[in-house]
Amino acid sequence: MIELPQRSRFERGEDLVVMKFGGTSVEDSDAIRRLIEIVRSRLHAQPVVVVSALARITDQLQEAGNAAAGGQLGSALETVRALYVRHEQLAAELASNEPQVKLGRELQAEFGNLESLVHDVAMCRQLNPPAQDRLLGFGECLSSKLVNAALREAGVEAAHIDARSCIVTDPRHGQAAPVWKVTNERLQQIVGPLLRMGQVPVMGGFIAATPEGVPTTLGRGGSDFSAAIVGAALQASRVEIWTDVDGIMTTDPKLCPDAKVIRKMSFEEAAELAHFGAKVLHPSTLAPAMRENIPVYVLNSWNPAGPGTEIVAQADTGSMVSAITAKREVAAVEIESPHGVSSELLRAIYAVFDRHSCPVDIMATSIGRVSLLVGSTAALPRIAADLEGVVNVRWENHKSLVCLVGEDIRRQPELASRIFAAVSDMDVRVPCQGASDRSISFLVEESRVEESVQRLHRLFFSRQEPAADWGGNSSAYCQAG
Ligand code: ASP
Ligand code: MG
């Protein structure tokens, strides 16, 4: 009788878990040792590991790039030097013997490339978007190599993958979007065989490349999105986002110490929260998970036994309001058109915002006027100049968008009156309602945002509130890396 070769777990379609570790969960050797134990606890479920850069590295790379572009090459190289020392020290702590030598050589080569990029930037006196993507991507190239070596040193059969060879995007530097078909094929072709051999693939989040191989990034905080992209391509049974808080919370615990962890929420609610300023998840993360119906868990790498937050297709928290977020420092833009607002005009306005990479949050139109919210005023002068002669663009700074999210929030008419009664003494503006059933939002002066979030949190989540009102299982919002 011919003995058939045994099929691997991957081929048998068994559990597969994508585990993404944020910056603070890989920040030093203690964090990486915790990561190793967490990965070990999932070895039965075919883990694929996605890591962010070590905490603060992406910001420091950006600083080095800005310094070089501003003519301060010395200070830029000093920053690079400090990054090198930090990674080198970690390598020495986490690997030994031959693998340490090999890792040391790899780090040296990466830092050689980083230094020459910084020299180039200093020479052209500008950090253009493609150069910026190359620069910021070093963080994840380095961290993924470190974590891979640390896992191997600990006896886990890890295999490093260059994310830029499998996540393929359009060329929108700084905010690239995946080209799904090619990305899915590459991930299956590159990660699949490793899983078949029982290995643990390790890759950097955030980084990708165009079909021609030009490095891109998925936007700040984009490693969460990378994990969801990998999960969707491999039909994972779950995606785990390992961070430094216990889960998604009812609001930012820094504002309200009694904020609670939300045990379970729907994809839509979590997407809405991410869109409206909760930093725990990159806003694009949930779309691929939703499409493939893959549950996403937000977990604390300091407290791996904790239940975290489970995000699934349907979740009835039983509460009217699940969470409250605040998006800080937004600008309210008013565009006046003397000739009315036509669809061509809207298209033209959108095209100009898009060309200046200025994402628009909320939009409302009325006769002769378009109102928008944007997260940064940086591009507005250039946008106003481009639209000059067509429309008149004005904006107000120092606003915050407070947003309440809940599965049925808009179907309970009395809720809106309770919300606005709680802030009736503040100068509140309601930019636009109606686009979503799951949120109610309004603008306040930046100086009043904390107070308004605290009042609303007290209103909907204080212990005095009858349990049925907040469901007893609502929870957090989070910052975290
Ligand atoms: N390292 C990148 C950032 O800081 C990506 C990420 O951490 O998700 O934005
Ligand atoms: Mg993050």
| C-alpha distances out from residue 187 to 161, 168, 190, Å | 10, 10, 5
**39 and 183 together in one domain:** yes
User: What is the C-alpha to C-alpha distance for residues 360 and 1, in angstroms, rounded to an integer?
Assistant: 66
**Pairing of β 47-51 and β 17-21:** parallel
Angle between the N-to-C axes of helices 129-153 and 73-94, in degrees from 0 to 180, rounded to the nearest 10:
20
Q: Do 238 and 330 belong together in one domain? A: no
Ligand 1 centre distance from Cα of residue 59 (Å): 9
Q: What are phi and psi of 442, to 5 degrees?
A: -150, 160
Nearest ligand 1 atom to the CA of 218 is 5
CA of 221 to the centre of ligand 1 (A): 4
Structural domain ending residue among the three candidates 243, 259, 282: 243
CATH number at residue 199: 3.40.1160.10
Counting atoms of ligand 1 from 1, which one is nearest the CA of 22?
7
Structure tokens at 259: 């904020």
Closest ligand to Cα 140: 1
Rounded Cα gap, residues 226 and 233, in angstroms: 11
Counting ligands in written order, the one closest to the CA of 220 is 1
CATH code at position 361 = 3.30.2130.10
> Does residue 284 lie within any of the structural domains?
no
Residues 211 and 84 in one domain: yes
Asked if residue 376 and residue 238 are part of one domain, the reply reads no
Domain limit, last residue, from 180, 211, 243 = 243
Query: 93 and 204: one domain?
Result: yes
Per-residue pLDDT of the chain (481 residues; tens, 9 = 90+): 666 667 887 888 889 999 999 999 999 999 999 999 999 999 999 999 999 999 999 999 999 999 999 999 999 999 999 999 999 999 999 999 999 999 999 999 999 999 999 999 999 999 999 999 999 999 999 999 999 999 999 999 999 999 999 999 999 999 999 999 999 999 999 999 999 999 999 999 999 999 999 999 999 999 999 999 999 999 999 999 999 999 999 999 999 999 999 999 999 999 999 988 788 899 899 999 999 999 999 999 999 999 999 999 998 777 889 999 998 889 999 999 988 889 899 999 999 998 888 888 777 888 889 988 898 888 999 999 999 999 999 999 889 999 999 988 888 888 989 999 999 999 898 766 656 788 999 999 999 999 999 999 999 998 644 433 333 333 333 333 3
Residue 74 belongs to what domain range?
A: 9-243
Residue 212 is encoded by which pair of tokens? 């021609």
Ligand 1 center from residue 182 Cα (angstroms): 23
Q: Which residues contact 227 (CB under 8 A, 6 or more apart)?
A: 18, 19, 20, 50, 205, 239, 240, 241, 285
Ligand minimally distant from the alpha carbon of residue 136? 1
- CA distances 369 to 339, 342, 353, Å, are 10, 10, 16
Identify the sign of the CA torsion 331, 451, 281, 470: negative
Number of domains in the chain: 2
| Helix, strand, coil share of the chain (percent; to 5) | 45, 20, 35
User: Which ligand 1 atom is at minimum distance from the Cα of 222?
Assistant: 8
Q: Measuring from each residue's beta carbon to the nearest atom of ligand 1, which residues come in under 6 Å?
A: 22-23, 52-53, 58, 139, 205-206, 220-223
Among candidate residues 215, 243, 271, the one where a domain is terminated: 243
Does a structural domain hold residue 308?
A: no
